Copies of this chain bind each other. A is one copy, B any other.
Amino acid sequence: MSEKAIKIGLVGFGTVGSGVAKILLEDGDYIKARTGLKLELARVVDIDTKKERPVKLPAGILTSDLNSLLNDKDIQIGIELVGGTKIAKEIQLKMLAAGKDVVTANKALLAEHGNELYTAAHKADKCIAFEASCAGGIPIISAIRTGLAANRIKAIYGILNGTCNYILSNMSKKDESFRTALKQAQDKGYAEADPALDINGHDSAHKLAILASISFGCEILPSDIFVEGIENIDIVDIRYGKEMGYTLKLLAIGQKTDDGKLFLRVHPSFISSDNALARVDGPFNAISIFGHAVGQTMFYGRGAGMMPTASAVVADIIEIAMGNSKKLFKHLTLEPRNKISSSIGKIDELASRFYIKLKVSDKPGVFAQICTVLANHEISLSGVLQHEEHNTANVVPAIVITHLTQQKKITAALADFAKLEIVKSKPVCIRIVDIPEDSD
């Protein structure tokens, strides 16, 4: 490895950008000792050059002029940490055209336009590295692409959004309402002032699109993914679930069936409270990957934040500077959409178990009516729960847990429930996800 420094240009000097600058400036000697690489932060570009940041840059490297980075032939690696999909995409394409390898944490951009960008990178004979786009500091992209390279990936189960996980675990542990838990997440800095993209599940879907694309080797778009958020979750249902041995998580799931169908979805999921993923609390992320050789694996860590995300960005810089990323990236070819669209399964066809809560009149014959509706749609019960309640104006919650059945049958049954005179409000329906466990 030569003594010549590898020059790096950073665009986007926000939270993660500051963390990346901090590592490059403070840990250069350590990285050199471990890897032989001399990394130099040569240029930092941001529209705001005045704001106070938690790291002090060497004089003269901060600028608002992107061209000063693009035109510097000595800068080999460009880091895009701008976020958003429009300007960020232009910046990445310009970096590639200017002969720079690209490192990014931009999950929305890669989920929507990954294949276009990868194609541009292939044409420019450069690479795009994106470890930081999914699950922050957890080296999950590297695990899938190298550590588990000998495996045909069968399924991914991920807790990919720290905000949702913080909210759901606080609801569950402290018996708090969604609103209270959301407010706490905002106070802690885990949720944005506008938390929509997190809590509606679309942030998780972006990350799932990226993980599923590299796991299954085909171009998966967010629009291929069935998405339901956590915004309507009621603490009451978390309580009932707990009583029956379930913990509620927002799971991102990608599964490949034996006949090659892909099912991709993000939704609130009751999982067994004994499962390792049920014990992932607070702002942490975790991903269980099932490979045909390795069996079950799980990767756990902080899914966001300045230093964890910077850890992933710098790992990518090191891999590029070593020359390792390029070879791997060359073979990042995703089956094009027209080839795979027929193999993407619809949620309606997916078999699942369901938790259904009905608010019903407290009178004789109610359970018979419920069971008749379910029987009409060939849905069989695996459990029921009804507590004695007081002061409820003769309306009581009745909970049924189904055996495996298809979503379309449940949808039809829910429509029938709504027509019953005894059913007093919109039924609540939450999927139960049985994550395989090979614990023995």
User: Chain A: residues with CB nearer than 8 A to chain B?
Assistant: 1, 19, 23, 27, 30-31, 33-36, 131, 137-139, 142-143, 146-152, 188, 217, 276, 279-284, 291-302, 305, 307-308, 310-312, 314-315, 318-319, 322-324, 327-328, 330-331, 438-440
Number of copies: 2
Asked whether B315 lies within 8 Å of A146 as measured between CB atoms, the reply is: yes
10 extra interchain contacts, Cβ-Cβ under 8 A, other than A137-B291, A150-B310?
Answer: A35-B149, A36-B331, A276-B276, A279-B279, A292-B307, A293-B308, A294-B311, A295-B308, A322-B327, A323-B327
A328 to B323 Cα, complex, angstroms: 10
Residue with the greatest number of chain B CB neighbours at <10 A, chosen from A151, A276, A328: A151
A139 to B312 Cα, complex, angstroms: 16
Asked whether B301 lies within 8 Å of A149 as measured between CB atoms, the reply is: no
Residues of B within 8 A of A142 (CB): 139, 142-143, 146-147
Residue with the greatest number of chain B CB neighbours at <10 A, chosen from A36, A149, A297, A298: A149
A33 to B216 Cα, complex, angstroms: 11
Q: List 14 A-B contacts (CB under 8 A).
A: A23-B150, A33-B217, A34-B149, A35-B149, A142-B147, A146-B319, A150-B314, A276-B300, A284-B439, A293-B307, A295-B307, A300-B300, A323-B327, A324-B327
State whether A36 and B150 are in contact (beta carbons under 8 Å apart), knowing that A137-B293, A282-B439 are contacts in the complex. no
Asked whether B439 lies within 8 Å of A150 as measured between CB atoms, the reply is: no
A292 to B294 Cα, complex, angstroms: 29
Q: How far is the CB of A299 from chain B (nearest CB, A)?
A: 6
A330 to B323 Cα, complex, angstroms: 14
State whether A152 and B311 are in contact (beta carbons under 8 Å apart), knowing that A301-B295, A322-B324 are contacts in the complex. no
A73 to B402 Cα, complex, angstroms: 62
Asked whether B324 lies within 8 Å of A307 as measured between CB atoms, the reply is: no
Asked whether A149 lies within 8 Å of B31 as measured between CB atoms, the reply is: yes
Residues of B within 8 A of A188 (CB): 440
A11 to B314 Cα, complex, angstroms: 38
The chain B residue with its CB closest to the CB of A328 is: B322
The chain B residue with its CB closest to the CB of A151 is: B311
State whether A1 and B311 are in contact (beta carbons under 8 Å apart), knowing that A300-B299, A318-B149 are contacts in the complex. no
- Neighbour of A324 across the interface among B300, B305, B324, B330, CB < 8 A: B324
Q: How far is the CB of A17 from chain B (nearest CB, A)?
A: 14
State whether A146 and B318 are in contact (beta carbons under 8 Å apart), knowing that A1-B327, A311-B294 are contacts in the complex. yes
Asked whether A294 lies within 8 Å of B276 as measured between CB atoms, the reply is: no
The chain B residue with its CB closest to the CB of A310 is: B293
Residues of B within 8 A of A150 (CB): 23, 27, 31, 310-311, 314-315, 318
Asked whether A293 lies within 8 Å of B439 as measured between CB atoms, the reply is: no
Q: How far is the CB of A64 from chain B (nearest CB, A)?
A: 27
Asked whether A315 lies within 8 Å of B30 as measured between CB atoms, the reply is: no
Residues of B within 8 A of A284 (CB): 439
Q: How far is the CB of A249 from chain B (nearest CB, A)?
A: 15
Asked whether A148 lies within 8 Å of B315 as measured between CB atoms, the reply is: yes
A302 to B150 Cα, complex, angstroms: 15
A188 to B310 Cα, complex, angstroms: 44
Residues of B within 8 A of A283 (CB): 440
Residues of B within 8 A of A322 (CB): 324, 327-328
A322 to B307 Cα, complex, angstroms: 30
